[in-house]
Amino acid sequence: MLDTRPLLENTDFPILKRGQLQTLQANLGYLCNLSCTHCHVNAGPRRTELMDRDTVDILLAFLEKHQLSCLDVTGGAPEMNPHFCDLVAAARQLGVSVIDRCNLTVLLEPGYEHIAEFLAEQQVCITASLPCYAADNVAEQRGKGVYEKSIEVLQRLNQLGYGRDPRLPLNLVYNPNGEFLPPPQQQLQADYKRELMERHGIVFDELLTITNMPISRFGSVLLAKGRYDGYMQLLKDNYDAANLASVMCRSLISVDWRGYVYDCDFNQMLDWPLRFDGQQPLQRTGVFAPLITSDRPRVHLGELLERDLSEQEILVGDHCYGCAAGQGSSCSGALG
User: Considering only CA atoms, which of 299, 201, 314 is closest in space to residue 249?
Assistant: 314
**249: in domain:** yes
Residue 36, amino acid: C
Highest averaged pLDDT of the listed ranges 14-18, 40-44, 87-91: 87-91
pLDDT digit string, tens, across residues 45-61: 889 999 999 999 999 99
Coil, helix or strand for 16? strand
More confident position, 40 or 102: 102
**335: in domain:** no
We report the CATH number of the domain holding residue 133 as 3.20.20.70
**330: in domain:** no
The pTM of the full predicted model, rounded to 2 decimals, is: 0.88
Lowest-pLDDT choice from 17-21, 187-191, 277-281: 277-281
pLDDT of amino acid 170: 98
Contact 266, 213 (CB under 8 A): yes
Query: Does residue 142 surpass a pLDDT of 80?
Result: no
pLDDT of amino acid 86: 98
User: Considering only CA atoms, which of 260, 292, 256 is closest in space to residue 276?
Assistant: 260
**46: in domain:** yes
Query: Does residue 326 surpass a pLDDT of 90?
Result: no
Please state, in angstroms and rounded to a whole number, the distance separating the CA atoms of residues 77 and 102: 6
Please state, in angstroms and rounded to a whole number, the distance separating the CA atoms of residues 151 and 241: 37
Q: What is the mean pLDDT of residues 225-249?
A: 93
Please state, in angstroms and rounded to a whole number, the distance separating the CA atoms of residues 79 and 258: 17
Q: Domain span at residue 220?
A: 5-324
**110: in domain:** yes
pLDDT digit string, tens, across residues 171-221: 999 888 788 898 888 999 999 999 999 999 999 999 998 888 888 778 888
- Altogether, the residues listed in the chain come to a count of 336
**16: in domain:** yes
More confident position, 83 or 217: 83
pLDDT digit string, tens, across residues 92-115: 999 999 999 999 999 999 999 999
Query: Does residue 271 surpass a pLDDT of 70?
Result: yes
pLDDT of amino acid 335: 62
**334: in domain:** no
pLDDT of amino acid 215: 84
pLDDT of amino acid 7: 39
Q: Give the strands of the sheet with 23-27, arranged side by side.
A: 206-209, 170-174, 125-129, 97-102, 70-74, 23-27, 252-255, 261-262
Direct distance between the N- and C-terminal alpha carbons of the chain, in angstroms, rounded to an integer: 34
pLDDT-derived band at 43 (thresholds 50, 70, 90) equals confident
pLDDT of amino acid 77: 94
Please state, in angstroms and rounded to a whole number, the distance separating the CA atoms of residues 27 and 41: 10
**240: in domain:** yes
More confident position, 85 or 143: 85
Structural domains in the chain (count): 1
